[in-house]
């Protein structure tokens, strides 16, 4: 529990027979190990929402990230499975009877390499029922399902002025707006974060605008390419702070935007130092 700053151990028998993927919305996409059955699962209430079976076995045979466009009870909800090794998307509607495959061309996002395009698709984020990302060449990209997948590009200026040449970047939605977080690093010291910057997309001005404060909200950044931004009061956390996890590191890092300082919390002495935790939100 991040709010209580303690490790609460418990056995979740339901997970042992399944592969699972955590969504930023807190739901888990579940795949039974001994069948092709898939469904969304709320780990706090154990509610299940049925999905089409994985007849093509794309979930078990590829590296995948899962997102939801809406709450899974919304009739417009799209369950999106992003292949992190190939230019392929799979999607479905909860309660329907099949997954659909969509293969996109790298040129869809502009004049970028195939690996760069896959990396940008990897950080897709749901905002207002659409999926959003941005490209290295300065385009803001939306992915809509109307009903087939359609990419749209909008040129956006980069006013970020990053000081350091290397950074891990995350996109997240907050109050219907898109934010870009950069964890900046020295070129030859990739495990050290020396600066954290936050920018908000101003779509009217077509520019990323620097954010000095989160106000009464917090940001939680998982080690696997997604972030969320709940209210501090609802989450029981300190306002105007960025809580982050890092790959291969059990520590919880808390960056105070007002002070510009970072505090490291040890989630449990019994955990190995290189065991990275995962963030799971309470589904709203």
Q: Is residue 242 part of a domain?
A: no
Q: What is the pLDDT of residues 207-219, one digit of tens each?
A: 999 999 999 999 9
Q: Is residue 163 part of a domain?
A: no
**Using alpha carbons only, what angle is made at residue 118 by residues 83 and 228, rounded to the nearest 5 degrees?**
75
Helices (H) and strands (E) in the chain, counts: 2, 21
Interacting residues of 271 by C-beta distance below 8 A, sequence separation 6+: 7, 250
What is the gyration radius of the CA atoms in the chain, in angstroms? 19
Q: Is residue 124 part of a domain?
A: yes
Q: Considering the chain, what is the average pLDDT of its residues?
A: 87
Instruction: Measure the CA–CA gap between 25 and 130, rounded to whole angstroms.
Output: 14
pTM of the model: 0.89
Structural domain including 48 reads 13-155
Per-residue pLDDT at 277: 76
Rank 107-111, 253-257, 274-278, 280-284 by mean pLDDT and report only the highest: 253-257
Q: What is the pLDDT of residues 239-262, one digit of tens each?
A: 999 999 888 888 889 999 999 999
Q: Which residues pair with 100 in a beta bridge?
A: 91
Q: What is the pLDDT of residues 148-159, one digit of tens each?
A: 999 999 988 766
Per-residue pLDDT at 231: 87
**Element housing 162 (H / E):** none
Per-residue pLDDT at 5: 60
**Element housing 241 (H / E):** strand 241-246
The whole-number average pLDDT for the span 86-111 is 91
What total of structural domains would you count in the chain?
A: 1
Instruction: Measure the CA–CA gap between 124 and 206, rounded to whole angstroms.
Output: 19
Instruction: Measure the CA–CA gap between 280 and 284, rounded to whole angstroms.
Output: 12
Q: Does the pLDDT at position 10 exceed 60?
A: no
Nearest to 181 by CA among 112, 267, 257, 236: 257
Q: What is the pLDDT of residues 53-78, one digit of tens each?
A: 999 999 988 889 999 999 999 999 99
Burial of 77 by CB count in 10 Å (0-12 exposed, 13-18 middle, 19+ buried)?
Answer: buried
Per-residue pLDDT at 186: 80
**Element housing 167 (H / E):** strand 166-174
Burial of 19 by CB count in 10 Å (0-12 exposed, 13-18 middle, 19+ buried)?
Answer: middle
Q: Is residue 174 part of a domain?
A: no
Q: Is residue 106 part of a domain?
A: yes
Q: What is the pLDDT of residues 158-209, one digit of tens each?
A: 666 666 667 888 899 998 899 999 888 887 676 788 889 999 999 888 999 9
Q: Is residue 263 part of a domain?
A: no
Q: How confident is the model at residue 9 (pLDDT cuts 50, 70, 90)?
A: low
- The three-class DSSP label of residue 224 is coil
Q: Is residue 175 part of a domain?
A: no
Q: Is residue 79 part of a domain?
A: yes
């Amino acid at each position: 529990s991040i709010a209580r700053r303690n490790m609460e151990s418990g056995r979740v028998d339901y997970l042992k027979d399944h592969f699972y993927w955590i969504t930023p919305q807190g739901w888990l996409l579940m795949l039974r190990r001994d069948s092709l059955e898939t469904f969304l699962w709320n780990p706090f209430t154990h509610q299940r929402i049925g999905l089409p079976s994985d007849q093509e076995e794309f979930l078990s045979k590829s590296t995948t990230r899962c997102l939801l466009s809406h709450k899974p009870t919304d009739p417009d909800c799209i369950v999106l499975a992003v292949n992190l090794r190939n230019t392929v998307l799979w999607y479905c509607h909860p309660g329907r009877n099949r997954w659909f495959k969509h293969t996109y061309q790298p040129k869809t996002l502009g004049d970028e390499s195939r690996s760069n395009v896959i990396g940008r698709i990897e950080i897709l984020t749901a905002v207002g029922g659409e999926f959003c990302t941005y490209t290295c060449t300065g385009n803001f990209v939306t992915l809509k399902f109307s009903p087939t997948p359609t990419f749209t590009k909008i040129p956006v200026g980069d006013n970020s002025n990053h000081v350091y040449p290397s950074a891990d970047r995350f996109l997240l939605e907050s109050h219907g707006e898109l934010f870009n977080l950069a964890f900046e690093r020295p070129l030859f010291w990739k495990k050290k974060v020396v600066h954290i910057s936050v920018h908000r997309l101003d779509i009217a001005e077509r520019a990323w605008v620097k954010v000095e404060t989160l106000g009464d909200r917090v940001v939680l950044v998982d080690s696997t390419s997604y972030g969320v931004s709940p209210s501090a009061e609802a989450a029981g956390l300190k306002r105007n702070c960025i809580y982050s996890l890092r790959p291969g590191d059990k520590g919880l890092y808390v960056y105070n935007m007002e002070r510009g300082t970072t505090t490291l919390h040890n989630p449990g002495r019994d955990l190995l130092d290189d065991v990275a935790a995962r963030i799971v939100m309470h589904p709203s």
